[in-house]
Amino acid sequence: MTKLEVLNPATNEVIETLEYTDEATVNKQIEKAHDAFLSWREVDAHTRSEKLWAWSKLIDEHKEELAELITKEGGKPLKEALGEVDYARSYVDWYAEEAKRLYGRTIPANSASKKIIVQSFPVGVVGAITPWNFPAAMITRKMAPALAAGCTIVCKPAVQTPLTTIRLVELAHEAGIPKDAIQYVIISGKDAGRIFTESPIIQKITFTGSTPVGKKLIEGAASSVKNVTMELGGLAPVIVHNDANIDDAVDQTIATKFRNAGQTCICANRIYVHEDIVDTYVDKLIQKVHELKVGNGLDKGVDVGPLINQDGVDKVVHQIKDAEAKGGQLSRSLDEIESLGGNFLKPVVISNANQNMEIMHKETFGPVAPVMAYADLDDAIKMANDTEFGLAAYFFTNNYKTGFYIYNNLDYGVIGWNDGGPSAAHAPFGGMKESGYGREGGIEGIQPYLETKYLSIGDM
């Protein structure tokens, strides 16, 4: 296996053929990243910040080109891809600023002749493994804080979507970030996991992807006690309470559910709606969902692109069939859902959902919205928490007491209250339970790239 064919999921055509990086070269690149680390960590924070700003500027100047690459290799509609480029850039901007705010502190010592100073130092060379669903944003969310902290980074992008990474890294070099400080390798996920976890040089591994793969990486990293950040699977619940604004709840549910054709870790997976309003909510949801235009993301007006590949389609179709067999009511027939062929599925709402359905317990990664009615809010919260995942959750209520009650009782790291789009570079994104550990974004997102050192100074 020496060649990687990058496919367009809308057409299944090969858009680029790349050489895989052989293992000896990957190891050489990691060594070079270490050499680069020894000088990059000495670059003052203001200069690092300026280089990140220069990268951000170039990303902005190449926004259309990057967005087109994202759509071609990942399938998401162009307007969403343009939004992703802005989102990706916002991480570079945020960490360009945070680079200058890595404050230390002094601690009052227990003797007048002593002084204790605490400072943060970069952890070293970082190995990053990124997913296909956000080919730009998941790169910058890892690379920008790593570089800001003074680390160097070797990234293995998803084999489905390497082209955006390659272009982003080229732009970083053009911006003056040293060549060996930010690198990519084209290898399989399995090889990356083995090489990164076994490397004595790599000090930190950051991964976004599935929980099973994350567990393997954690196991591998444990043998050399490597620092890891894991952003893993989700199964986001949505609770719509009877005092919610139904129209807003429908719009925001669509925003979270159908972003990237339902292929994000924080997409709504299951929707619990109070029985007083469930019929109205479902009617309004179906009407708007059926208006969504499905097609090649490069075509004008498309809202929902293809799924990433046939495996993705098969998994979603299996969940739809399972839900129908267990009493779910499909808003359009399976034939209609599959009518466009290829990797396309028309979005569907499944009403009358229940907890026995697979879709209520397994990540879907597709444009399917199952809705289940509830009578008691505590039951809804219990069902929402009844999962090994704890990444994102959403709820809708216009009562602040109810809102804070739900917020306090949901075991999730990212929560949207009347908000289907909570992600932001300035907020700490990450999950509880088997959704991983560590946070990306916000002031928290640079900490995983830093080690704390303290110095106790005695009398001179």
| Residues designated catalytic | 231
Name beta bridge partners: 289: none
Q: Specify the residue, 134 or 389, whose C-beta has the smaller distance to ligand SIN.
A: 134
**Closer of 127 and 209 to ligand SIN (Cβ):** 209
Residue with the CB atom nearest ligand SIN in the bound state: 423
CB 84 within 8 A of CB 68: no
- In sign, the C-alpha dihedral spanning 304, 306, 310, 311 is negative
Report CA torsion sign: 108, 110, 113, 118.
negative
Which tokens in the block code for residue 226?
A: 């490597």
Give the whole-angstrom CA distance, residue 287 versus residue 349: 10
Q: Between 137 and 353, whose beta carbon lies closer to ligand SIN?
A: 137
When asked if residue 199 is in the footprint of ligand SIN (CB under 6 A), the reply is no
Nearest to ligand SIN of 124, 214 (CB atom): 214
In 365-446, which residue ranges form alpha helices assigned H by DSSP? 377-385, 400-409
Interface with ligand SIN includes 264 (CB under 6 A)? yes
Q: How far is the CB of 76 from ligand SIN (least distance, A)?
A: 12
Question: Shortest approach of ligand SIN to residue 423 CB, angstroms?
Answer: 3
Q: Which is nearer to ligand SIN, 80 or 231 (CB)?
A: 231
Task: Please say which residue, 58 or 414, places its beta carbon nearer to ligand SIN.
Answer: 414
> Could you tell me which of 128, 129, 227 has the C-alpha nearest to residue 450?
227
Judged by DSSP in three states, 416 sits in: strand
Quick check: 423 binds ligand SIN (CB under 6 A)?
Answer: yes
Task: Tell whether residue 92 is a contact of ligand SIN (CB under 6 A).
Answer: no
Provide, rounded to whole angstroms, the least separation between the CB of residue 131 and ligand SIN.
Answer: 7
Is 211 an interacting residue with respect to ligand SIN (CB under 6 A)? Answer: no
Quick check: 265 binds ligand SIN (CB under 6 A)? Answer: yes
Cβ partners under 8 Å of residue 36, min gap 6: 152, 178, 179, 180, 181
436-437 β-sheet, strand order: 182-184, 152-156, 125-129, 202-208, 227-231, 436-437
Asked if residue 293 lies in contact with residue 304, where contact means CB atoms within 8 angstroms, the answer is yes
Judged by CB, which is closer to ligand SIN: 180, or 231? 231
Residue 208 within binding range of ligand SIN, rule CB under 6 A = yes
Task: Give me the residues paired with residue 452 across strands.
Answer: 120
CB of 397 to ligand SIN, least distance (A): 23
Is the sign of the CA dihedral 170, 171, 175, 180 positive or negative? Answer: negative
The helix/strand/coil state of 351 is strand
CA angle 167, 169, 175 (to 5 degrees): 105
Residue pair 119/453 in contact by the 8 Å Cβ criterion: yes
Stretch in the footprint of ligand SIN (CB under 6 A) among 16-24, 51-59, 130-138, 294-302: 130-138
Can residue 266 be called a binding residue for ligand SIN (CB under 6 A)?
Answer: yes
Could you list the beta-strand ranges (E) of 70-208.
105-107, 115-122, 125-129, 152-156, 182-184, 202-208
Question: Which segment (116-124, 168-176, 262-270, 450-458) binds ligand SIN by CB under 6 A?
Answer: 262-270
Q: Which of 37, 94, 95, 134 binds ligand SIN (CB under 6 A)?
A: 134
Shortest separation between residue 236's beta carbon and ligand SIN, angstroms: 10
Q: CB of 451: closest distance to ligand SIN in angstroms? A: 26
Residues 227-246 that bind ligand SIN (CB under 6 A): 231
Binding footprint of ligand SIN, residue count (CB under 6 A): 10
Please report whether residue 91 would count as binding ligand SIN according to CB under 6 A. Answer: no
What is the closest distance, in whole angstroms, from the C-beta atom of residue 258 to ligand SIN in the complex?
A: 13
Q: Is 269 in the site for ligand SIN (CB under 6 A)?
A: no
Which amino acid is present at 113? S
Residue 372: closest CA among 274, 267, 280: 274
Q: How far apart are CA 58 and CA 19, in angstroms?
A: 26
Q: Which is nearer to ligand SIN, 250 or 266 (CB)?
A: 266
Least distance between ligand SIN and beta carbon 318 (Å):
21
Q: Which residues bind to ligand SIN, rule: CB under 6 A? A: 133-134, 137, 208, 231, 264-266, 423, 429
